């Protein structure tokens, strides 16, 4: 049985000069910000897939994340998975702006996250290669960065 393999590439790009200095004052604060960037980048990538009618949100039952191992705060791994679940499954409230952002996958049953070593997990290694390429081009050649086909670039802060 043949199947088509499809890969959707996306990257969260942080303009460090625009990030508040206080974010860099502690490792935990910096990691929470990076987790926020990851969470929102994932959400924006899914929103793009929905907009392009490549996925139907009500048909998604389970979502599996394979994430490159990285430094986390004591409970950072739990916080990242919970934060993604909140965004995608339950929706989020921004009390400062009195806003509610509904979930994009209201029928999803589970969101699972596994932290992997990129040396031994092919897709995580591929994501690492894409991230390194985008990092290099962002710093050195914006024309080539903008010429990458089929990639969704999400800028922060």
- DSSP one-letter string for 44-100: HHHHHHHHTTSS-GGG--EEEEEEE-----TTHHHHHHHHHHIIIII-EEETTTTEE
Whether 43 is in a domain gets the answer yes
Residues β-bridged to residue 65: 113
Please state the rounded mean pLDDT for residues 96-108.
92
What integer pLDDT is reported at residue 51 of this predicted model? 95
Whether 136 is in a domain gets the answer yes
What integer pLDDT is reported at residue 127 of this predicted model? 87
The count of structural domains within the chain is: 1
Whether 130 is in a domain gets the answer yes
Task: Return d(Cα 87, Cα 93) in angstroms, integer.
Answer: 10
Full-model pTM: 0.85
Q: What residue has token string 């929102």?
A: 40
Whether 141 is in a domain gets the answer yes
What integer pLDDT is reported at residue 5 of this predicted model? 60
Whether 61 is in a domain gets the answer yes
Whether 95 is in a domain gets the answer yes
Whether 3 is in a domain gets the answer no
Give the range of the structural domain holding residue 85, as residue numbers without chain letter.
9-156
Whether 126 is in a domain gets the answer yes
Task: Return d(Cα 50, Cα 57) in angstroms, integer.
Answer: 7
Neighbours of 123 (CB within 10 A): 11
Is pLDDT of 104 > 90? yes
Q: pLDDT per residue over 116-155, tens digit each?
A: 888 888 888 888 888 888 988 888 888 888 777 778 899 9
Is pLDDT of 9 > 80? yes
Model confidence at 75, pLDDT cuts 50, 70, 90, reads: very low
């Amino acid at each position: 049985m043949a199947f088509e393999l499809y890969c959707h590439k996306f990257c969260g790009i942080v303009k460090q000069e625009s990030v508040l200095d206080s974010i860099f004052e502690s490792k935990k604060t910096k990691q929470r910000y990076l987790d926020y960037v990851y969470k929102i980048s994932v959400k924006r990538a899914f929103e793009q897939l929905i907009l392009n009618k490549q996925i139907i949100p009500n048909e998604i039952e389970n979502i599996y994340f394979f994430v490159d191992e990285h430094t986390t705060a004591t409970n950072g791994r739990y916080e990242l998975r919970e934060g993604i679940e909140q965004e995608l499954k339950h929706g989020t409230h921004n009390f400062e702006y009195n806003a509610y952002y509904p979930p994009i996958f209201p029928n999803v049953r589970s969101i699972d996250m596994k932290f992997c070593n990129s040396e031994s997990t092919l897709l995580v290694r591929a994501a690492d290669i894409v991230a390194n390429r985008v990092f290099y081009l962002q710093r050195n050649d914006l024309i080539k960065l903008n010429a990458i086909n089929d990639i969704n670039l999400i800028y922060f802060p």
